[in-house]
C-alpha cells in the first residue's frame, strides 16, 4: 500500500509534466472511487482547469487548481502516472481517470483494486480535510516534543498509534514495522509506556527511514510503481517487514510475526525490541 515515500515519489514524478498544464479531455471509468462529488461535477471542474501545483499531504496526492484541490488517495493499489505516449491496452485497463494535457501527455490515475478515492475540495473542504490530519513527519519544523505529545497520550499499542493519521501522517504498516525495529521498541507496547528516550529514537528513526525510502523511490512488493511506471527499491533495505522467520540482522534471533496488534502483520525481534 502506498505510504508517504511512495506517494511522495509519485507526486515528484508527475509534477513537472502537470505544472501549468490544462486538463483537456477528462475520462472516468468508474464513479465508485468518488467521494463527495458526482461524476458530472468532477469532470466539469477538471476540464479546462489549469494545474497550479502538485503536492502531497499524508498519503495523498493533491492537485491544486484555481478553484479546487483535487485529492487523490491511492488506497491499496492506486498509482499516479504520466504517459508521454499512447497507453497500451494493459495500461488502460485499470486507468480509472485519464486526462489529456495541453502538452499532449496524459495523466492517469490507475487503480487495480479501486479502493482508492478521489475528492474535489473547495477552500473550506480543504481546510477541514487538512485539519483532520496530524503533522507531517518530515516537516523540518516538527519537534520531538510535538511528536511525543501527539503519540504518548494513547494507551493503544505504539504501532497502532504510529499509524493513526490523526496523530502523525504518512506511516503505514511497512514503515511502522521498520521504524519500531530501528528504534528498538516492542510494537505492542502501550504508547503511554514508551519512554522519552524511546520517543526520541522513534522520531529520529521514523524520519530517517521515510527519507531513505523516498531516496530509493519507495517500496515495491506487488502493485506500487513510481510516477514513471518503475518499481521502487526500498524493499531491498527492509530490516523486518516481509522477513518473518528470517534472522534479525542485528542479533541473529529469528524474527517473530503476529497479527494480534492491528490485524495486519507485525514483524519484530523479541530480543532487540523492548
Ligand atoms: Zn534482534
Residue 62 has what pLDDT?
98
**Per-residue pLDDT reduced to its tens digit, 14-69:** 999 999 999 999 999 999 999 999 999 999 999 999 999 999 999 999 999 999 99
| Residue 128 burial (CB count, 10 A) | 10
Cβ neighbors of 185 (< 8 A, separation 6 or more) are 158, 194, 198, 201, 202, 273, 274
Would you give the DSSP letter of residue 263? S
Sequence-ordered alpha helix ranges (H) in the chain = 4-18, 39-46, 89-93, 123-131, 144-152, 158-162, 173-183, 196-215
Clarify whether 264 is annotated catalytic.
yes
pTM across the whole model: 0.97
Clarify whether 59 is annotated catalytic.
yes
Residue 90 has what pLDDT?
86
Clarify whether 2 is annotated catalytic.
yes
Residue 216 has what pLDDT?
97
- The Å distance, Cα 70 to ligand 1 centre, comes to 44
Separation between Cα atoms, residue 108 and residue 105, nearest integer Å: 10
- The Å distance, Cα 253 to ligand 1 centre, comes to 5
What parts of the chain have a pLDDT lower than 50?
none
Catalytic residue among 2, 5, 74, 187: 2
- The Å distance, Cα 136 to ligand 1 centre, comes to 29
Amino acid at each position: 500500500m502506498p505510504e508517504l515515500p511512495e506517494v511522495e515519489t509519485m507526486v515528484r514524478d508527475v509534477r513537472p509534466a502537470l505544472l501549468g498544464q490544462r486538463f483537456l479531455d477528462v475520462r472516468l471509468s468508474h464513479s465508485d472511487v468518488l467521494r463527495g462529488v458526482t461524476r458530472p461535477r468532477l469532470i466539469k471542474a477538471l476540464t479546462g482547469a489549469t494545474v497550479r501545483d502538485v503536492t502531497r499531504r499524508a498519503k495523498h496526492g493533491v492537485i491544486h487548481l484555481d478553484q479546487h484541490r483535487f485529492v487523490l488517495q491511492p488506497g491499496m493499489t492506486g498509482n499516479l502516472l504520466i504517459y508521454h505516449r499512447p497507453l497500451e491496452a494493459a495500461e488502460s485497463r485499470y486507468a480509472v481517470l485519464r486526462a489529456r494535457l495541453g502538452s499532449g501527455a496524459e495523466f492517469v490515475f490507475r487503480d487495480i483494486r479501486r479502493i482508492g478515492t478521489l475528492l474535489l475540495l473547495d477552500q473550506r473542504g480543504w481546510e477541514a480535510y487538512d485539519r483532520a490530519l496530524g503533522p507531517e513527519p518530515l516537516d523540518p519544523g516538527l519537534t520531538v516534543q510535538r511528536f511525543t505529545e501527539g503519540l504518548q497520550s494513547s494507551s493503544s499499542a505504539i504501532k497502532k498509534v504510529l499509524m493513526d493519521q490523526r496523530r502523525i501522517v504518512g506511516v503505514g504498516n511497512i514503515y511502522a514495522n521498520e521504524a519500531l525495529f530501528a528504534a528498538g521498541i516492542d510494537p505492542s507496547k502501550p504508547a503511554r509506556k514508551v519512554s522519552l528516550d524511546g520517543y526520541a529514537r522513534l522520531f529520529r528513526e521514523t524520519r530517517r527511514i521515510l527519507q531513505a525510502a523516498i531516496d530509493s523511490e519507495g517500496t515495491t512488493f506487488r502493485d506500487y510503481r513510481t510516477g514513471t511506471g518503475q518499481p521502487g527499491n526500498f524493499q531491498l533495505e527492509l530490516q523486518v517487514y516481509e522477513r518473518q522467520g528470517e534472522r534479525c540482522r542485528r542479533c541473529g534471533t529469528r524474527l517473530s510475526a503476529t497479527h494480534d496488534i492491528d490485524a495486519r502483520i507485525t514483524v519484530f525481534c523479541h530480543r532487540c525490541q523492548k
